[in-house]
């Protein structure tokens, strides 16, 4: 099993990586196939992750977190993504998309009200950006939040929202049109909508190709009334704020993707050393060994990319281009490695009880979610001044 080389990092990073790897192997992996097959949310795994402090890794201690950074979060996501992408994306979305908008843009009262529970893992929050006609073009948002006295009345719908319909989902942060700017463009703001708000509905969960143990729903808002104090951040800055959140999230998704790519390498090495054909271990065939070598190169490159972006982010430098590079490289590495690993496993690679089969189904969304590969290419080109 390949090891992540983090010898240059402080002891707490190495210790965290080791702890999460053991947890992934001994707790997550044994129940992964069952939850995938049953499309069931792994509440027991999430609860243990909460007890470990994983949901609070980059949250300051004053708000109940661990006081760490995105590099720590990335290491945890890589180890979880190696074994089970559904579990990894539950953590990634909970932190990057659920908690970070509150930490980055919330008032002190909002931080105190929401972050301790979220950081403990006893509650989750969703990130309501995507709509039927507003994905990459989030400026096409149609959901509205109109003023009515001291309240907002929210109407509209959102699609593909992770962690939005679990039994422990506390609220969903949504982008909504709150007016019109002087230049005639939509004024888009961010509103916190608690899940117990009358008029808020998490519709039946999607029947997805992969990430079957991850919670994903379409949402509808029908005259959902929330106080104007639920405005998150400056009015009219909702779209801009969410773009910055997505930039951070891309680093986390890249770490998850690197883990998936490495998981495919690990499983292929193990299988190639065990499987025989024509009287020889298939690892002895150059076609197989060269394929796995390329897989390892992809996983290694993906790891370097996300760690570079995370290092710039932690240092307070502009990391937007590097985040897009990491997201592009790592997601493609995960998809390419999943395809090769499935081929190496032959018929077994088509059986869902094998981890590589689940990676094959799960990895495609990594090239789509939190900005498609095409969007990343556009952002990289823009970062080059093109």
DSSP string across 219-232: EEEEEEEEEGGGB-
Overall average pLDDT of the 90-107 stretch: 97
Q: Which pLDDT tens digit goes with each residue over 257-304?
A: 999 999 999 999 999 999 989 989 999 999 999 999 999 999 999 999
Give the predicted TM-score (pTM) of the model.
Answer: 0.94
Percent of the chain with pLDDT over 90: 87
pLDDT confidence of residue 4: 56
pLDDT for 231: 97
Residue 2 domain flag? no
Judge if 98 and 155 occupy the same domain. no
- pLDDT tens-place string over residues 209-242: 999 999 999 999 999 999 999 999 999 998 888 8
Residues in the chain: 386
Handedness of CA 195, 196, 197, 198 (dihedral sign): positive
Same domain for 256 and 358 = yes
- The residue among 309, 308, 189, 293 whose CA lies nearest residue 247 is 309
pLDDT at 9: 78
DSSP-assigned letter for residue 134: B
**247 and 226 within one domain:** no
Contact (Cβ atoms closer than 8 angstroms) between residue 79 and residue 259: yes
Domain boundary among 123, 140, 162: 123
Q: Is the same domain home to 216 and 261?
A: no
Helix (H) or strand (E) holding 281: strand 280-281
Give the domain CATH number at 286: 1.20.140.10
Instruction: Kindly state the average pLDDT of the residues 128-155.
Output: 88
Give the number of domains in the chain.
3
Specify whether 109 is located in the same domain as 189. Answer: no
Task: Decide if 367 is catalytic.
Answer: no
Write phi, then psi, for 172 (nearest 5 degrees).
-125, 130
Reported confidence tier of residue 197, pLDDT bands at 50, 70, 90: very high
| CATH code of the domain in which 203 resides | 2.40.110.10
pLDDT at 43 over 80: yes
Contact 165, 175 (CB under 8 A): no
Report residue 5's pLDDT band, with 50, 70 and 90 as the boundaries: low
Contact (Cβ atoms closer than 8 angstroms) between residue 367 and residue 373: yes
Q: Is residue 6 part of a domain?
A: no
Pairwise CA distance, residues 54 & 121, whole Å:
8
Token code pair at residue 375: 């969007």
Q: Which domain holds residue 171?
A: 125-237
Residues 45 and 151 in one domain: no
Q: What are phi and psi of 153, to 5 degrees?
A: -110, 115
The answer on 259 and 208 residing in a single domain is no
**Domain identity same for 183 and 119:** no
- Tell me how far apart the alpha carbons of residues 263 and 79 are, in angstroms, rounded to a whole number: 9
Same domain for 271 and 244, yes or no, is yes
Same structural domain for residues 139 and 219? yes
262 and 372, same domain (yes or no): yes
Marked catalytic residue, from 79, 267, 296, 370: 370
Beta bridge partners of 157: 220
């Amino acid at each position: 099993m390949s090891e992540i080389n983090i010898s240059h990092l402080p002891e707490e990073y190495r210790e965290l990586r080791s702890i999460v790897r053991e947890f992934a192997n001994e707790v997550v992996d044994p129940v992964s196939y069952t939850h995938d097959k049953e499309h069931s949310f792994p509440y027991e795994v999430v609860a243990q992750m909460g007890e470990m402090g994983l949901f609070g890794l980059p949250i300051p201690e004053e708000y109940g977190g661990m006081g760490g950074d995105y590099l720590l979060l990335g290491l945890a996501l890589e180890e979880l993504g190696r074994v089970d992408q559904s579990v990894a994306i539950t953590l990634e979305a909970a932190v990057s998309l659920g908690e970070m908008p509150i930490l980055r843009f919330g008032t002190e009262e909002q931080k105190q009200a929401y972050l301790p529970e979220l950081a403990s893992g006893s509650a989750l929050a969703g990130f309501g950006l995507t709509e039927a006609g507003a994905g990459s073009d989030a400026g096409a948002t149609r959901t509205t939040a109109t003023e009515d006295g001291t309240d907002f009345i929210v109407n509209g719908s959102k699609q593909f929202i992770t962690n939005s319909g679990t039994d422990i989902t506390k609220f969903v942060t949504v982008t909504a049109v709150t007016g019109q700017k002087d230049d005639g463009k939509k004024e888009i703001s961010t509103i916190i909508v608690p899940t117990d708000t009358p008029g808020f509905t998490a519709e039946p969960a999607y029947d997805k190709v992969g990430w079957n143990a991850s919670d994903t729903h379409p949402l509808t808002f029908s005259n959902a009334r929330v106080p104007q104090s639920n405005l998150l951040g400056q009015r009219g800055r909702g779209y801009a704020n969410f773009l910055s959140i997505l930039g951070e999230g891309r680093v986390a998704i890249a770490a998850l993707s690197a883990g998936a790519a490495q998981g495919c390498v690990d499983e292929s090495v193990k299988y190639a050393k065990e499987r025989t054909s024509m009287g020889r271990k298939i690892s002895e065939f150059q076609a197989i060994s060269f394929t796995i070598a390329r897989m390892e190169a992809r996983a290694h490159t993906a790891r370097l990319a996300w760690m570079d972006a995370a290092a710039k982010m932690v240092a307070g430098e502009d990391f937007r281009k590097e985040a897009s590079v990491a997201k592009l490289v790592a997601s493609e590495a995960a998809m390419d490695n999943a395809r090769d690993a499935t081929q190496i496993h032959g018929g077994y690679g088509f059986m869902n009880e094998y981890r590589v089969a689940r990676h094959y189904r799960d990895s495609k969304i990594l090239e789509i979610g939190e900005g498609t590969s095409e969007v990343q290419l556009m952002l990289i080109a823009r970062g080059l001044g093109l």
